[in-house]
Every structure is written in C-alpha cells, then in structure tokens.
Amino acid sequence: MLEKDCSGNGLLPEDMGTLIRKDRSRDDVLKMFLQLTTSLFNMPSGYISIVDDTTHNVIVSHQISMTPKPRQFSFCQYVVDSSQPVIVPNTCLDQRFCEHPLVVGSAGIRFYAGMPLTFRNGVTIGSYCVIDTIPRDLTEDDLTSLNFISDLVTRFIESWLDVAQTDLNSGLPNMHQLIGDLQSEVSNDDNNYSSLILIECIGVNQSEDIARTMGIKNLNRLIKDISFTLEQTLQLKPSEKLYMICAGRFALYSKNLTSNERSLRERQLRNLQAHLADGVTIGLNICVGETAITLPISSGQEILRQAESALYAARCSHAHRWSVYNQDDDDKRNNDFYLLYDLTDAIRKGVDLFLVWQPKVTLPDGNVSGLEALIRWNHPARGILSPGIFLPLIADTSLMVELTDWVIDHAIEQQIQWTAQGLRLPTSINISILDLTRGNFTQNLVEKIEKAGLDRALLGIECLETEKLLASSNVIEELRLLRQEGFSVSIDDFGTGYSNLNYLSKIPADIVKLDKSLIDNVQWEPSQQIIVRHVIRILKDLGYTVIAEGIEDEKTADILSEFGCDQAQGYFFARPMTTDKLELWLNNIHFLENKAKAS
C-alpha cells in the first residue's frame, strides 16, 4: 500500500514513477471513465492528472492533448493543495486562471472542474477533471455525481497500485513494494537495527533453462512452490516481511535480527527442495546476500544495491554461500565498473591502448622465429595496466570483439611497416570464443590482410577457452577455415584446465603452446620431466609445432630443447617490449651475430 512521505503531497518517488508510467490495461479503463463522464455532463474534454512536488502529469485524457508541465502552471495544483473540489464556472473571471495560456490561448478553456483523487491514507495524488470552452455552472446533483465518479476512479487506481506492488504468481509483495518500504524505513528517525537479506534460490540462467525445456507454466509452479517453501521454512516473525524480487530471487526484510536468529536462518536455508513437476523435485542451491540498514542511507535503492553487492560476492564464493555487505569489496567492484567504462572509451576512441611484442625463439639455437602481440593499457589515472586486470571485465561482452579488432588492425599496421623495412616477423594474436562465433571472422581477416598486401603467414591465431571451442561445431569450422586460408592456429595454455591429448584430434590447429605451469619444475622434478618429455613426443608425433611458454632460466630451456621442443618464449629470452625497444633489441641481436661471424 502507498506510504506517506514527510514532505510535499506525501507521494514517494517510487510510487510516483509507477503511477505516471503508461499501463495500457489501466489507462483503457480510465479512458472509459472519462468518456462516460464527458458524455454524462455533455462536456467536450476531460483528463486525469497526477501531481507531485514539481510536475503536473496527465496520465490519460479525452479529446485534449496535454504534456507534463511545472506544477505551478497547472490548474490541478489547487485541487491537490486543498484536497477539495475546485470548480471554476468562468476561468476568465478567476484571478488564478484568467491569464493562463490554456485560457487565453488556442485551447480556450472557460470552465474547469477538478475533483481530488485522495487515497484511503489521506494522500491526494492528483485530480479528475472535466473542462469546457464555454462558461458553465454545476448543480448540486451534478457535483454529487462527479464526486461519486472521481471516488470510483480513485478506488480503481488504488487497487491497481496494490496489484502493481504484488507478484501475482507468488502473492508476495514485489520489488516496487520493497523499495517503497525501504524508503519509508530510511525516512524513519526511530530506526532500530534492521537488515535486508536477498535469497537467490535459482539463478537467471537456471530459470531460463527450466522455461525453455519445461515451459513457463512449470517455471511459475516452481516459483510458487519455492515461495511457499520459504514462508513455511523461515516461520517469519511479525517484524519480518518476505518479498518476491524476480523469478527465483526473494528479499527478507527483518528488524532486530539477533546473531542466533541469523544462524538459524542459515541452517533453515540449507538443503531446501521445491517441486518442479508432478513427482519431480529440484534442489535449491541457495545464495544469500545481506546488508545492515544503518543510517544515514540515501535511498531504498541504495539499500537494495548493497544487498545485491553482497549477493554477488556470495555467488562468486565457493566456500560460503552467505555473504554480508562489505564496503571495501563493494568499492573494488565499483572501481571495476568505472574501469570498464574507461576501457570502453579507450577502445572506441583508440586512445591509451598499445601493443607490446614478446619474441618467440627456436630451440636450441635461440633464433627469433616470431612474436606474440599483447595488449596493454596506459590508464590516465592508474598507469600501465596488464591484460590480467582489465580483460576479465569484458570477457563475455561485445567489447572483447571490439578489442580484438583493435589488436588485429594495429598488428597489421605494424606488419606493413616492418615489411617495408625488410623485417619478416610472423606475429600471433590472442582471440576469444566470442570472436569465432560472431560470423565471418575468417573472411574479415582475409580482407584486411589482402588490403594490406601482406603474406597470410605473417599473422597467426592463438585460442584459449578450449572447452568452449569443443562445445561449438561452428567454432571448429571457423578454425578450419582459418587454416585453409593460410593462417596458423595455436592452442594456448596446454597443460591447464580442460587440457588433454584426446581433444587435439577435434581442434584444427598447427601449434600447441605448453603452459608455464607444466614446465615450471621440470629441472627439479624427475616425474615432471617424464611427463613433459612424453607430452612433447606425442605432440610432435601428431604433427604439431610445440612452443613452451614462461621459460625463465637457461637450465629449463636446455631440458626442453633436449626433449625436442621446437620453440620457446619467456623472460629468459626476452620480456614483452614496445615497438621501439623490440627494434633496438633485434638490431642488437643482429649486431652480435654479425660480430660473432666476423670473429
């Protein structure tokens, strides 16, 4: 139900937003009321307004068009301020209206009757109005009838708002009601300790899967059963209230929750089940986010946001599924959001991003065989950032595709310059699963290479996310096309995660890169030497070029060379370098080689 506020007309911002928002079913009924009224009183026009502290909003009208206007320029302000009917037989003779644009302008309003729309709690939200272009008088019977109709309209809007604040499937109050109640709590100076607890019983992806496989009807039945199960299990106190936020997510508002009661709540929410279909139950893997409501807090929205932040932390935690809001963690996530915003700007404006190049060398001679292009970001405030900081922020977004395009374009641009200087430096770039699923990736790459006049062998592709690669036949086909068009394809980070030799037969690739974690202890652990030796031998027998990553010392390089590893990269040979430093490094290598030959 609508709550009172401590200022203005008593209307909370959340309620105002709901009332002025278009709703076809509600507005169709209100228009019918207006048509009935104007016909009954032989009036040409009418409208229904909602008036807040600053604005006059017409939500429906009949035979007149009215746009939102400042409150002080509206007829209806007088109705709302007095909560009484305002009848103006002749607007030209009323000092309040005689110079109003709707009176002296083309609208030519001469008669106005506004009836207050006052809810049961005493809040007047607006007015129910009829107007005419000629002066008129209303009889007592007319006024009684008009007042009766406006009361019906008020009760209808009030009932509609009640429904708008209730989840029809579960019967619980919804998020709009929660925001209103929280806002009322923020305005309450006599606030005892209270908390908001978000309870996620099924996630968004899971609810979508259920709807897709079993239908909306079964999903709704599941949600209804979950809400019933929660109410029965939690055994709410009079000072507690349960809300439905969205499908599978609930909010528990609680006052004076003791530590013992909180522990009880944790136990109650373990191992719950709900009915999915006849004879079929589903286990609820519940995550909980909790925040204490401590003043001052700016709004109910901020309380809910803090609880959402805690829920996110619980969802990401493998150890503990109940998380309490933490300001430091929240600040970090907010900083990540701002970083994401800055990165979007950097990509689309082409500023602050640059490439570094890490050489690959052949074993055992150490000759430079190629480069890997790596992205870096010179953030205006935070300095140079490695991809490990900012790439996870865009991993599943379209920005990853935009960033890949940026890397490809700048790698090609650099290849054009090196080719003109007589340098042949085959370069690999890292791509994500999103790049391979966007469509026409290979064709677009071919067009860019041909436009640049470059040999396709100068550009190679490195793929992560092996498990995702295997899950999509379209991705496998795209990799096959890349190889057919003359681009080398590398499987990156072999030896971690989903790595196994069996999947190599399913992924079209030329090169396998051994992850640093696989070869880190190879000089110290005999068992690791056996594993690495046999992995390299099998990969070579299968026809792959084998590259070892993360080589940091000469001994490891010698062992891998002895095992037959083709190439290597790592700090022992060279760190990632900017273009200028790379060219100096290459010139120094050539100088030393020529000096050695001369001697």
- SS in 3 state form for 78-99? HHHHHCCCEEECCHHHCCCCCC
Amino acid (1-letter code) at residue 428: S
pLDDT, mean of residues 334-344 = 84
What count of other Cβ atoms lies within 10 Å of the Cβ of residue 108?
A: 14
Nearest CA to 197 among 304, 125, 93, 282? 304
Q: Which tens digit of pLDDT belongs to each residue from 467-514?
A: 677 767 788 889 999 999 999 999 887 776 555 666 777 788 899 999
- Give the pair of three-digit tokens for residue 379: 């953030």
Confidence band (pLDDT; 50, 70, 90) for 14? low
Please enumerate in sequence order all residues whose Cβ is within 8 A of that of 402, keeping only pairs 6 or more positions apart, or say none.
Answer: 347, 348
Contact (Cβ atoms closer than 8 angstroms) between residue 433 and residue 465: yes
Contact (Cβ atoms closer than 8 angstroms) between residue 118 and residue 83: yes
pLDDT at position 318 is 65
pLDDT at position 145 is 95
What whole-number distance in Å separates Cα of residue 481 and Cα of residue 167? 51
Confidence band (pLDDT; 50, 70, 90) for 296? low
- Give the pair of three-digit tokens for residue 45: 């026009």
Confidence band (pLDDT; 50, 70, 90) for 1? very low
Angle at the Cα of 507 from the Cα atoms of 503 and 510, rounded to 5 degrees: 115
Contact (Cβ atoms closer than 8 angstroms) between residue 478 and residue 436: yes
What whole-number distance in Å separates Cα of residue 512 and Cα of residue 501? 11
Alpha carbons within 13 angstroms on the beta-carbon side of residue 576 total 14
User: Which helix or strand (DSSP H or E) is residue 31 part of?
Assistant: helix 24-40
The CA distances from residue 155 to 130, 151, 326, 445, in Å, are: 19, 6, 44, 64
pLDDT at position 397 is 83
Nearest CA to 47 among 28, 63, 36? 63
pLDDT at 569 over 70: yes
pTM, two decimal places? 0.61
pLDDT at position 530 is 92
What whole-number distance in Å separates Cα of residue 525 and Cα of residue 522? 6
Confidence band (pLDDT; 50, 70, 90) for 236? confident
pLDDT at 381 over 70: yes
Better pLDDT: 126 or 2: 126
β-strand partners of 568: 361, 548
pLDDT at position 362 is 93
Q: Which tens digit of pLDDT belongs to each residue from 119-174?
A: 988 889 999 999 999 999 999 999 999 999 999 999 999 888 888 888 888 888 88
Nearest CA to 549 among 524, 507, 519? 519
| Average pLDDT for the chain | 86
Annotate 264-297 with three-state secondary structure. Answer: HHHHHCCCCEEEEECCEEEECCCEEEEEEECCCC
Q: Torsion angle of alpha carbons 423, 425, 426, 430, nearest 10°?
A: -130
pLDDT at 419 over 70: yes
Locus of tokens 């286990």: 283
- Give the pair of three-digit tokens for residue 290: 């909790």
Better pLDDT: 555 or 296: 555
Confidence band (pLDDT; 50, 70, 90) for 368? very high
Nearest CA to 149 among 124, 165, 129, 169? 129
Straight-line distance from the first to the last Cα atom of the chain, in angstroms, rounded to the nearest whole number:
93
- Give the pair of three-digit tokens for residue 503: 């999947």
Highest-confidence segment of 275-289, 380-394, 411-425: 411-425
